[in-house]
Every structure is written in C-alpha cells, then in structure tokens.
Amino acid sequence: MRFGRKTVAVLAIGVCMTAYGADVKTFDVPSAAMGETVKVSVVTPASYAAGGTARYPVVYLLHGAGNDHTTYLQPFLMDGVDKWRFIAVIPDGKLDWWMDSPLLPKVRRETFVVNELVPWVDSKFRTLPQRQRRAVAGHSMGGQGAMRLGMRHADVFGIVGNVMGGVDICAAANRKELVRLLGPYAENEARWRSFSVLAEAERLRPGALRLFSIVGTEDFFLKPNRELHELLSKRHIAHEYTEVRGETEGMSKHTRPFAFWALGRLFERFAGCFAEKADAPLALGRLVKVGDEEFVCTGEEASVSPLSVATSATLPYGEPPSGGRSRRSATLPYGEPPSWRLLFQRVVDGRRVVMVRDLATGQETTISPLEGQACHPAWGPDGSVLYTYGNETKTGFAARDDATGWNLWLWKDGDRRQLTHGRQRAYAASFAPDGQTVYFSCDHVAETGKSASQAADPNAISRAGIAAVPLDGHGAQRTVCVLPQSNSACSQPRVSPAGRLLLRAELAKFRETWRLVVSPLDHPEQRTYLTSLYEAAYAPAWSPDGKLIAYTGFRDGDAGWGVYVMPSEGVVTQRIADGRNPSFAPDGKSILYDRDGMVYRREVTR
C-alpha cells in the first residue's frame, strides 16, 4: 500500500493493486449540495500510470444497499479496467437509493453524482468527457440508481447498465430506508411512482441512451425488470435485456457473485459502445432501403447456396466475420445472383419435397424421397443440404406410429445419410459456420439425457429443446444436448457468422408468443431477448456479416405475417415485405422469402 499526497480539501489514499496492474485510490470528494465529503474510489488501468496524453472513457459504478465505495474493488473490476481500458469511479451512496430526497434536504445523491462528481473526475483525470464515453451502472439499489440517473440525465451519460436493479421501488414499499426518504407509501403513492425507473422510461426519448440489463431468473427483482423490458419494447426503445438461468448455485439469484459476473459482462458491451464514433446515432428508423419485389419460383423456405459453392473461382474471403465459408471450388460459375442455386421445399402431389433449382438454367433437382414428407431445408458451407424427413401424418410433424419419427437427413452430391434416429421430432436444423456441427430443434432434448423411447410426450411442442450433432467424415456422432427442455419451446437455432452467438425462437408459454432470443454459444442459458411479448417472431436468419437479423413477425395492426429486419442488438425493427421465412443471399444484398407458396426476392441496401 502506498499513500498519495494531500491536495486542496481532498485526501488521496492510494492502494496499488499490483496483482492486476490497475491502480486504486480513494478520495474524500467535497459536496456542497450535501455539506459533507463523500468517499469515492477511482480505479485506473495500468496503462494510465504510463502518463502521456491518452484519455480514457469512464464507468461510474453505483453500489447496492448495504454496500459502499469498496464493494466493487474485486478481481472482476481490476481485470475489466485493464482489459477494456477505462476508468472506474465508485462513490459511496449509503442507503440513499441514489436520489435527492424530497424530505431530507441533505440527501442529494443524484445532485452529487451528476453535478459534482462527474465534473470533479473530468478535472482530475485524463477522461474522455463526451456523454458517449461515459457510462453509469450498478446492481440492485445501484442498478435502479444507474437506470434512473441515466434516463434523467442523458446529456451526461450515454450508456447505462443495470444488474438485477430494483427498477420499481413501489415493489419495495416496506423498506425502511425508502420510507425514510419518501414517506409512507400509502400516503405518498404518487411520489413513490414518480421516483420509479418505470416512470422515467415512459418519458425517455427513443435513441437517447444505450441501455443494458441483466437479471437472474430466480431474482426477487425479476418481475419489475421484465416489466421495464416490456415497457421499453412497447415504446420501441432500443435496449439489451438478458435473463440468466444459472447452472451454479446462486448464479441466477440476487447475490454478489452474480452481480460481479454480470457487471464484467457489461464492461465488454460498454467497450463496444466506447469504440463507436462519438456522434454515432442508434440504429433507429429505416434500417435498409428496399428494392422492388421479384418473383423467383414456386416454393417455401428458400435459401441461396453459399458463395463457396456457387463459384468455381477462389474468393478472397480471408477470415470471418463470415466464419466457416470455405474456398473450395464447385460447379457453378461465379456471377450475379441468377447463377446461384436455390434450395427450397415445395408441395408435389400432396407431399412436401426438398428441391434445388439452378437459377441460371431453371433446372430443378429433387433431393428428398418422394414417399415421405420433407421440410426445413438448409445449406451447409460445402454445398451439402440438411432437411427433416418423416412419414405422412395429419399434423405434418408427429410420428405416424411408434416405430418412426421425424429425423434429420444429410444430402451431398446425390448421397443421403440419416443423422438422427428414433421416435422423435428433429427439425429446423442449421449448420454452424464451420460446417462441423448441426444444431436443431428436438422435442426429446431432456436435461437428464433421456432417449426418444423414454420421452413421455413425443408430440408436445412445449417440451422442445435444442440439440447438436457433431459431424465427422462418416456422418454424425452422438447427439449432444445444447439447451434442455423447459417451460418454453425452442426452435430454429441459428449460429452467428462469427460462431459466437446462438439465435433462436422461443415460445413464451404463459403468453403463447414466439420471441427471438440470442445467447453466447457456450452459455445458451444466458438469454437476451431481441423481441417483445407484444409481437410474434420466429424463423430468424443472420445477414452474412452478422450485423442484421431478418425474421418472420406479426405485430398489432399488421394485416398478416411479414418479413422484418433488425440490427443484431435487437428491438428496433423495419417491416420490408409481406411474407415469411426470410433468408439473406450470400452477398447480403438481397433477402428471399415466401408468400402463398411462392418465393420472392427483394434487394436491400444499408
């Protein structure tokens, strides 16, 4: 430990965390509004001590109830400050809920943070003083404080992070410290509601802030956080909302370990925001320019072959974002989209079959057997084709008898190979970008790993989960459970072009609404909801660069199903056509979709 020097009315007590490289100092910062000094910890990255003229973004961290300015001085913060190169500022807020109390003149936590602390930090440290380079975040009481201060002072903060925040203080009306600050709830209900984050969200201007929230599924503040998410979604305010179902004890509850882990996740999101241009607007309004609709052919669920199998030339892709695209040669000459091959399903003599169409010649090839039903076709990076195949039934999905089911098949150069077996429903499959793993929906993905014959209800869509089949040179290895069955069905898994995220549709059973959800591929239980409960959304598709998502959607007021696009961060959307089942062309310049058994195409320009 080393001590700094005494300066004007401020005692600097420095603690050097050499194990992590970051440097920690604690200051007594004077507050004219409160008539006292406030303990504030400041953490600077190791690179800051090198001097020079480099300036840094700042993250203000507001602690939870019962904590203080030392709570966050943990490895997660030291690592984050050094890795993402920002300055962290942690004021002591006592139990004052980061507000200016209407009853206690000396409780002016909001005024201190916004009007006194921020200018003090900018004057003492080499900061980037723009709002787009300044974030405020916290957990529990601090998550509520961060959200409320950020929404009320979007001219000061450009980025807000909330971890399991008490965003509706009316739900905590029995807490003595809140009664001390606002008076009894029964006698001051309007006052209490005016101090709620939900009230601020009603007034928030779309595009004013970058908003991030993380909460555990067993947290006692889950309900108000969901309500805030739904309110923001209903108002079309861009935000990122993640619910975490923890596999480790305490990692989905209202605990400090969860808060530290979640804040570490937010630091990475903040770093991405800090890296943007200071005047970069949020992706609002029209996302793409849309060309005229063009008829392609009869069929459904169409997609164009990857560039790697549509060209005989070696393309200079380099490495991703496109991930697993190979450079191998194939059979068709490279050119404009008409030279590509189209994969789709079509009803022939009352049966669904999977077909490939050469868009240059119009020649069509049927690749699934004609005696059964085939659906949900998907290209592989090397030109192979996945599809679901089973016997004819009234439902189109359920097995006809106990001996058969709907299973995945792989087609390549005329050869067919069965990937899954048993009385099950394996459907809506897709390849990972490297072509080595197939992800699919399955109504027999149980957390216990039960086989198809052990499943109690093989036709219950509410029991669908996500599975994966790693491929080898001979076909497939053992099926792996990726996301177990739960109270919500999971369908149409799609791995991002960079191979890091898993996008899918989930059925919110209590509202019977399909929503789009994205998760880290290695932690699929950590859900970020991209669409709200006030619209239906399914059949998602990534753009080749991973920056856009197209999907089938329906909102109140829509005449029918439509094709929507959104940025990969979610929420802000644009309807581009009437239809369903969109897919991007490999160059990202057009989207295909179907309507009434016909495939159409529209050019899109960003």
Residue ranges covered by each domain of the chain: 6-274, 289-605
Q: Do 528 and 262 meet the contact criterion of CB atoms below 8 Å apart?
A: no
User: What is the rounded distance in angstroms from the CA atom of residue 556 to the CA atom of residue 121?
Assistant: 47
Those residues with Cβ within 8 angstroms of residue 142's Cβ, 6 or more apart along the chain or in another chain: 61, 62, 63, 64, 67, 93, 98, 163, 165
What letter represents residue 447's amino acid? E
User: What is the rounded distance in angstroms from the CA atom of residue 288 to the CA atom of residue 290?
Assistant: 6
Sign of torsion, CA 257 258 259 263? positive
User: What is the rounded distance in angstroms from the CA atom of residue 118 to the CA atom of residue 111?
Assistant: 10
Secondary-structure class of domain 6-274 per CATH? alpha beta
Q: Which two tokens stand for residue 18?
A: 């050499």
Residue 370 has pLDDT above 50, yes or no: yes
Tell me which H or E stretch contains 227: helix 222-234
User: What is the rounded distance in angstroms from the CA atom of residue 343 to the CA atom of residue 356?
Assistant: 5
The residue with greater pLDDT, 470 or 308, is 470
**Per residue in 143-172, pLDDT tens?**
999 999 999 999 899 999 999 999 999 999
Tell me which H or E stretch contains 180: helix 176-182
CA atoms within 13 A on the CB side of 118: 24
Please, what's the largest Cα pairwise distance for the chain?
88
Confidence of residue 281 (pLDDT cuts 50, 70, 90): very low
pLDDT of residue 234: 84
Query: C-alpha angle 242/246/250, rounded to 5°?
Result: 115
What fold characterizes domain 289-605? Neuraminidase (2.120.10)
CA 317 to chain centre: 27
Of the listed ranges 19-23, 103-107, 387-391, 567-571, the least confidently predicted one is 567-571
**Per residue in 323-337, pLDDT tens?**
332 222 222 223 344
Those residues with Cβ within 8 angstroms of residue 223's Cβ, 6 or more apart along the chain or in another chain: 171
Residue 95 has pLDDT above 70, yes or no: yes
Residue 302 has pLDDT above 80, yes or no: yes
Alpha helices in 364-522 (DSSP H): none
Confidence of residue 310 (pLDDT cuts 50, 70, 90): very low
CA atoms within 13 A on the CB side of 3: 5
Return the DSSP state at 448.
T
Q: Which two tokens stand for residue 300?
A: 């459904």
The residue with greater pLDDT, 50 or 13, is 50
User: What is the rounded distance in angstroms from the CA atom of residue 136 to the CA atom of residue 1?
Assistant: 28
pLDDT of residue 266: 95
